[in-house]
């Protein structure tokens, strides 16, 4: 029986890895289109498409204008080659089955206050994946192309136990919702990439229900980035969300530490953390060797509010509050459990519990939007 279960698990893992590798190949195939349309490289655009492919567009008050990819590339060729034209493209989802796939892209052109959604039909041919058709629609938008990065855990179990672990669905959904409404494109990274384990889902909660059925949001959780795929230059904000999982694999992940400190020191961006997500702060160091939290007001889930009689508490590799204080942090919290509480110290924003998620996210947006990029605030 055990041998059969192991074989089933191995088969499932093989299928998942195969699907992920295929999606990476699709991403590479459409990358020529994304880069070519942003930096005016017509040859890169052509390399992504099947020759003669049709684009089904709205154009000059016509509900359907069919344009060949060669004509489209010809228009790009009239622009200054290699110059960024202000077009920002984000991959929202890739739905692949066998040798076919549909790709959903968000294209922002802030200069004309437009947001486009591109749908690409992609097919695997002898020489690899190619776009065989495209359609698009647009709407007015104030989005600027700014990005926020949510940092989640890959841990499915708590320590060495068999207790399940997961990321707080509330904290992720609240942050995603508010960043999106503020015009940010939100991406998610985990130590291992791929599917993020979830916890504390309440289908009766309106926000939970909205996002459980939001295909873009659930795709992002199912196909999180791994640290190698993250370009830290792109983000104004990183936010560590909480739950029962982050303490087990986030604090020791050096790649995630580098991303967070790059955003903070080089981009002059914001680092935020909520509840047990503050575990992700304990090993963050500045370029001068000092811990990020040294001399700073900070909070997270206080030890006095932990249920120390429950098995999960014994699995914690450290006490977040204690280690933050050992690193020089000034840990502060509300005495009343379940009360929202936030500490703000420059571009470091921390919240006590999941109830603090909204205030932390809103404050992070406020700070990021007024940041001038001229040194420490």
How do the domains of the chain map onto residue ranges?
Answer: 15-140, 147-370
Buried b (16+ CB within 10 A) or exposed e, 3-34: eeeeeeeeeeeeeeeeeeebbeebeebbebbb
* Mean pLDDT, rounded, of the chain: 92
Q: Which of 121-125, 163-167, 370-374 has the lowest mean pLDDT?
A: 370-374
Q: For the whole prediction, is pTM greater than 0.75?
A: yes
Say if residue 216's pLDDT is above 50: yes
Say if residue 375's pLDDT is above 70: no
What angle do the packed helices 69-77 and 2-39 form, to 10 degrees? 50
Quote the pLDDT of residue 127. Answer: 87
Say if residue 165's pLDDT is above 80: yes
Quote the pLDDT of residue 63. Answer: 80
pLDDT-derived band at 376, boundaries 50, 70, 90 = very low
Say if residue 8's pLDDT is above 60: no
Contact between 265 and 203 under an 8 Å Cβ cutoff? The reply is no
Average pLDDT over residues 263-287: 98
Quote the pLDDT of residue 19. Answer: 54
Domain 15-140 identical in fold to domain 147-370: no
Say if residue 367's pLDDT is above 90: yes
**Which of 361, 48, 20 lies closest to 219 in space, CA to CA?**
20
Say if residue 365's pLDDT is above 90: yes
Say if residue 373's pLDDT is above 60: no
The 10s digit of each residue's pLDDT in 28-70 is 999 999 999 999 999 999 999 999 999 999 877 778 899 999 9
The 10s digit of each residue's pLDDT in 285-332 is 999 999 999 999 999 999 999 999 998 999 999 999 999 999 999 999
301 CA to centre of own chain? 23
For the domain with range 15-140, which CATH number is right: 3.10.450.50, 2.70.98.10, 3.10.180.10, 3.30.750.24? 3.10.450.50
Contact between 237 and 368 under an 8 Å Cβ cutoff? The reply is yes
Domain 147-370 listed as CATH 3.40.50.880: yes
């Amino acid at each position: 029986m055990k041998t059969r279960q192991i074989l089933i698990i191995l088969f499932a893992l093989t299928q998942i890895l195969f699907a992920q590798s295929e999606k990476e190949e699709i991403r590479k195939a459409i990358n020529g289109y994304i880069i070519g349309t942003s930096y005016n490289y017509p040859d890169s655009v052509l390399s992504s498409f099947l020759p003669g492919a049709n684009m089904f567009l709205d154009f000059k008050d016509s509900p359907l204008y069919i344009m060949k990819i060669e004509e489209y590339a010809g228009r790009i060729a009239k622009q200054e080659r290699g110059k960024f034209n202000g077009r920002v493209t984000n991959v929202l989802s890739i739905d692949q089955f066998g040798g076919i796939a549909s790709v959903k892209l968000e294209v922002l052109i802030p200069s004309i206050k437009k947001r486009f959604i591109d749908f690409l039909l992609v097919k695997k041919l002898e020489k690899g994946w190619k776009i065989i058709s495209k359609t698009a629609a647009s709407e007015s938008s104030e989005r600027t192309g700014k990005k926020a990065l949510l940092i989640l855990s890959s841990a499915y179990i708590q320590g060495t136990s068999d207790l399940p672990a997961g990321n707080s669905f509330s904290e992720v959904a609240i942050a995603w919702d508010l960043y999106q409404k503020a015009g940010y494109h939100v991406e998610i990274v985990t130590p291992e990439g791929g599917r993020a384990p979830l916890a504390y889902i309440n289908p009766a909660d309106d926000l939970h229900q909205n996002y459980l059925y939001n295909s873009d949001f659930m795709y992002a959780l199912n196909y999180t980035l791994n640290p190698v795929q993250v370009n830290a230059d792109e983000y104004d904000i990183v936010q560590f969300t909480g739950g029962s999982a982050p303490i087990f694999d986030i604090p020791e992940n050096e790649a995630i530490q580098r991303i967070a400190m790059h955003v903070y020191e080089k981009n002059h961006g914001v680092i935020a953390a909520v509840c047990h997500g503050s575990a992700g702060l304990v090993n963050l160091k500045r370029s001068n060797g000092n811990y990020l939290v040294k001399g700073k007001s900070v909070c997270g889930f206080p030890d006095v509010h932990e249920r120390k009689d429950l098995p999960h508490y014994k699995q914690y590799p450290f006490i977040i509050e204690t280690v933050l204080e050992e690193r020089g942090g000034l840990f502060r919290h509300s005495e009343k459990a379940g009360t929202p509480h936030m500490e703000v110290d420059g571009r470091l924003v921390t919240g006590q519990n999941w109830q603090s998620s909204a205030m932390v996210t809103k404050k992070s947006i406020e700070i990021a939007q007024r940041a001038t990029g001229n040194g420490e605030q």
